[in-house]
Amino acid sequence: MRRSGPVCLGLARNQQVGDRPADGTRVIRVQVVDDEALIRSGFELILNAAEDIEVVATSTGAEAAGTVTRLRPDVVLLDIRMPDVDGLTVLREIRAMPEAPVVAMLTTFDSDEYIVTALRSGAAGFILKDTEPEQLAQLVRTLAAGGVVLSPKASRSMLHGHPGHAAGAGDDPEVRRVGLLSGREREVLVLVAEGLSNADIGARIHLSAGTVKDHVSAILTKLRVGSRVQAALLAQRAGLLGGRGGEAGRRR
């Protein structure tokens, strides 16, 4: 199924959250929050075609947090702009929950302002609504596995276009914390910023997923950040992702 415009999702009538596919694969529970019915139904058709994904839909920001508490999804795809309560407010409410789900923002915009604000508020990704339908299920799997998901446009905006990141980075106390990381931790951080899950990072650098998880936990602690995406933002500001940052990224 291909669409020229945005898409987003809902729950099949005969489907119960928590069911497993016949092969026993773990089901990823996804909640989509978007005020446009066409968006919700589009994502429903696309994602429910995957046997390992179940979808529920919420049409307003006001009811989103309550639905998340009740249904306990693994991944929330959240519209950043809604008429009642904006997505950034809902994001902060969800991220404040105990055992909060992974949240990725859905948008038709790729403005730096929205990207950086959402990611610094704890979003695990930023997906444009015109993302190719065949990519959506894999993006959800990546999010559920702990990876970072950014559309190509969002990645370019975040990593190369946000003003002020490079200038004065060496004087930024947050950026200086990158200098506390070991060489291996920096290597892991760069791969986290590329959007890889723990398993993918482990395969890349020949470590177990558990060891990678330990490295990621140490990175978050040393950088004093609460999410992988926030760590990736610091990596960019420090110059680890292309040499545009300050001195911290070059210290050994």
- Are 45 and 140 within one domain? yes
CATH assignment at residue 150? 3.40.50.2300
- Are 41 and 140 within one domain? yes
Q: Has residue 4 been placed in a domain?
A: no
Domain end call among 98, 127, 160: 160
Calpha distance 43→80 (Å, rounded): 16
14-58 per-position pLDDT tens digit: 333 444 455 556 899 999 999 999 888 898 889 999 989 999 988
| Structural domain for 192, as ranges | 169-250
Calpha distance 24→10 (Å, rounded): 23
- Are 62 and 180 within one domain? no
pTM passes above 0.75 = no
Token reading at 75: 């991944």
Calpha distance 250→236 (Å, rounded): 12
- Are 35 and 102 within one domain? yes
Residue 83 pLDDT = 84
- Are 215 and 93 within one domain? no
- Are 153 and 176 within one domain? no
Calpha distance 162→145 (Å, rounded): 27
User: The tokens 């038709």 sit on which residue?
Assistant: 108
Domain end call among 160, 191, 211: 160
Sign of CA dihedral 48, 52, 56, 57: negative
Q: Has residue 107 been placed in a domain?
A: yes
Q: How confident is the model over 143-149, as a mean pLDDT?
A: 85
- Are 208 and 241 within one domain? yes
Calpha distance 89→158 (Å, rounded): 21
Residue 180 pLDDT = 92
Measure CA 114 to chain center: 14
Say yes or no to pLDDT of 104 above 70. Answer: yes
- Are 102 and 68 within one domain? yes
Q: Has residue 90 been placed in a domain?
A: yes
- Are 137 and 205 within one domain? no
- Are 228 and 193 within one domain? yes
Q: Has residue 5 been placed in a domain?
A: no
For residue 160, give the nearest of 110, 107, 102, 219 by alpha carbon.
110
Q: Has residue 15 been placed in a domain?
A: no
Calpha distance 167→243 (Å, rounded): 12
Measure CA 122 to chain center: 8
Residue 91 pLDDT = 93
Number of domains in the chain: 2
Calpha distance 190→231 (Å, rounded): 9
Domain end call among 114, 133, 160: 160
pLDDT bin (cut points 50, 70, 90) of residue 222 is very high
Token reading at 155: 């990645």
- Are 34 and 142 within one domain? yes
